[in-house]
Chain A
């Protein structure tokens, strides 16, 4: 009897260890009507879709989505951007537990688009081309791979702006009107003049000089890589000089973007502006603005720019493509849905019709009545075309690191550029770097 009990216990132990070693199954149960006719009424569609998102914005669409599709359950897992690719790659290559929809931030969206793991949306049952006319061009072009397949779309467009404090502008510059302030920031040198004026009153112009990289990055004449060769555009070199001047003269808070002090400077008494695209408003300024409500405004900097954004696409082997497309269509192609979202959160969306409608509406409290959609609509007519490559993530990191070393006075400009080139060669040995 004792022997039998011992044998039973040993077997149970072994089995339990084997069980906890088994990989967890991630994909949802399927009860969609994908096999049947391609158009089913919203109430008929039912099932669960899994989404991996690197930010929280997608979750904001779920409530509205469920009003139209009450039987589709949406599970969103927020995976932090820093780990996103690291977590996604093993899952994609093994095919186990892949979400039905996953996002891609601008730093690596091109990499995902080219990898082919997002389904081609031009094909049945998506037929995305009926919608792309209303989407801002660059959003679609970033989501398109070199063969012309449209693989990803976004709910947002991210034209750039300079978001400044009205009270400080009135005090130091004499005006808080966006057009007039924008005129004072018409070139790099003009910006430095304004920074000097602000410094006399003890105000730091920028939250971080690294914010300006967004602007310069978008205004290159060439992308980072042309024909497999590294290209350093003049716009980036002048960014290095700007960074050095700002750091030397103490025109910024000397913090990194997204550090707690950087985010907290929205409410501070000594920070003048953030150089951020449209998502900066609803992500940084609006949530933090409390006593400074009504004291913010947006204007154009030296050059219009576009930076950042998050795209999403449908996993090519997903068993729930119909449901996934319903969600994607809701977020990225449905003008009413986007208008409702933007009214509540103040984010600039990807559909031209939605943005036009929103520009007619009331302005934002935080911006003292200025309507951000009207402002950004105008910016969108001026932005340069996107020059994103699959190498951008690591190259941007390396460039920022080199600029930091130069701006803080640790190395000379030539040394910084040399280090940058070596870093790029180490990160991507297949590129030609001279």
Chain B
């Protein structure tokens, strides 16, 4: 039987808790939730930013559903993400296997060095690679001409496949270190007793890795995949600075976010830009759900 005094103290402690989490929620409500709701609201209007907005109901949505360029941009973004993600995952799994199961000298240095590209601003990376490849007198062309390679100088940015591949490469370069670090963290969480048992049963290193480690870090892999999809489908900064928001050549690197940016800030169609972001939200949600379902096994012996 609690005295009134103890009940009051329990309540006071509760109040403190709410007070301390309040700043986050206030900031989130103002800078997170409100803009999202406003964008949804804006997608039902036609607005050029300066003149007053006019309500157009579902017209923007109707335009989005039949918009070839929107589907092209989604396909481009997805392609860039896939070509980036598969090598990223494979190299991260390989590196984390090597680092966890072998004693490599300077492992900490390598891990930090691989992580470093992630810290560079994506915009400057885009500009850097533009200087490497753009035009006959770019850096790479200078080198190729000096080496007397036949066919140099090449017009690298005339090839859609090359430019798209370059964006994927840049993304891989910037993120594989981060993925390695996360997967290594997941691997160290596995109980070493399992490995001892496997060793006793005569499993090779490769079998240990594939049959034991990988399934046990499934939650980490799911986390990596879904965050990668969400980030990758919103890709904007690298292709925008690489091609100066044009998405050249012939829209090979026009990502959905770039299309949204051009519609909003260049063509002054803020209502339509809002609709594109709603469409993108639905597509990302769908892809994430699909990825999650694909990676889950039924019978949750591995679920947390």
Contact = CB atoms under 8 A, between A and B. Distances in A.
A368 interface: no
A426 interface: yes
Contacts of B50: 89, 92-93, 115, 117
B250 A405 contact: yes
B19 interface: yes
Contacts of A14: 22-23, 26
Contacts of B131: 260
Contacts of B244: 82
B266 interface: yes
A89 B268 contact: yes
Interface string B121-133: 0000000000100
Interface string A180-222: 0000000000000000000000000000000000000000000
A419 interface: yes
B153 A89 contact: no
B246 A428 contact: no
Chain A interface mostly helix, strand, loop or mixed?
A: helix
Contact of B250 (A253, A394, A410): A410
Interface in B146-189: 153, 155, 158
A387 to B, nearest CB: 20
Interface residues of B, number: 39
A393 B137 contact: no
Chain A CB within 10 Å — which of B49, B245, B246, B269 has the most?
B49
Contact of B266 (A85, A117, A254, A410): A85
B136 A427 contact: no
Nearest to B136: A254
A8 B262 CA distance: 47
CB-based closest 4 A-B pairs = A255-B135, A89-B49, A86-B265, A261-B137
Interface of A: 6-7, 10, 13-14, 17-18, 21, 82, 85-86, 89-90, 92-93, 111, 115, 117, 253-256, 259-262, 393-394, 397, 401, 404-405, 408, 410-411, 419, 422, 426-429
Given A89-B265, A255-B136, 16 more contacts: A6-B16, A89-B268, A90-B49, A92-B49, A115-B50, A254-B153, A255-B134, A256-B134, A259-B135, A411-B250, A419-B250, A422-B68, A422-B69, A428-B267, A429-B269, A429-B272
23 contacts: A6-B16, A10-B16, A10-B19, A13-B23, A82-B244, A89-B50, A89-B265, A90-B49, A93-B49, A111-B268, A117-B50, A254-B136, A255-B135, A256-B135, A259-B135, A260-B131, A397-B246, A401-B246, A405-B249, A410-B250, A411-B250, A427-B263, A428-B267
